[in-house]
């Protein structure tokens, strides 16, 4: 199953680079660094798409997506940095709290190693 998901990564990344490049060339919302902002969103979306839904991806995926939205708002002058950082901190805390209430699997990466004795 994992191989079937990962085969889409490179084509999706190429499309993502093309879209962000086109947004820059067309000057859609001038002043927005689409590579950075899109990169944040891509990390969030890919972590959910490739990692499935578990305690780690349910925190990292939405967090990076919200960070991308905040980045656009900040770059367009609709959100000040001194507000963006506390908002992201609150979002991270809420996501960390959420995964404590939802019965989701813990990814192998976060499971403690068992003694092999």
Residue extents of the structural domains in the chain: 35-103
Percent composition of the chain: helix, strand, coil (DSSP 3-state, to 5): 70, 0, 30
pLDDT tens-digit readout, 12-41: 888 888 888 888 788 877 788 888 898 899
Given a contact cutoff of 8 angstroms between Cβ atoms, the answer to whether 38 and 20 are in contact is yes
Percent of the chain with pLDDT over 90: 48
For residues 46 and 97, give the distance between their C-alpha atoms in angstroms, rounded to a whole number. Answer: 22
Q: Centre a 10 Å sphere on the Cβ of residue 60 and count the other Cβ atoms it contains.
A: 17
More confident call, 64 vs 13 = 64
> 104 pLDDT band (50/70/90 cuts)?
very high
What pLDDT sits at residue 95? Answer: 96
- Given this model, what pLDDT does residue 116 score? 47
């Amino acid at each position: 199953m994992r191989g079937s998901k990962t085969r889409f990564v490179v084509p999706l990344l190429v499309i993502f680079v093309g879209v962000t490049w086109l947004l820059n060339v067309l000057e859609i919302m001038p002043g927005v660094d689409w590579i950075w902002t899109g990169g944040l969103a891509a990390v969030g979306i890919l972590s959910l798409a490739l990692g499935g839904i578990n305690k780690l991806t349910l925190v990292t995926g939405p967090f990076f997506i919200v960070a991308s939205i905040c980045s656009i708002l900040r770059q367009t002058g609709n959100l000040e940095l001194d507000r963006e950082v506390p908002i992201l901190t609150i979002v991270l805390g809420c996501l960390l709290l959420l995964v404590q209430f939802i019965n989701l699997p813990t990814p192998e990466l976060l499971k403690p190693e068992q003694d092999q004795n």
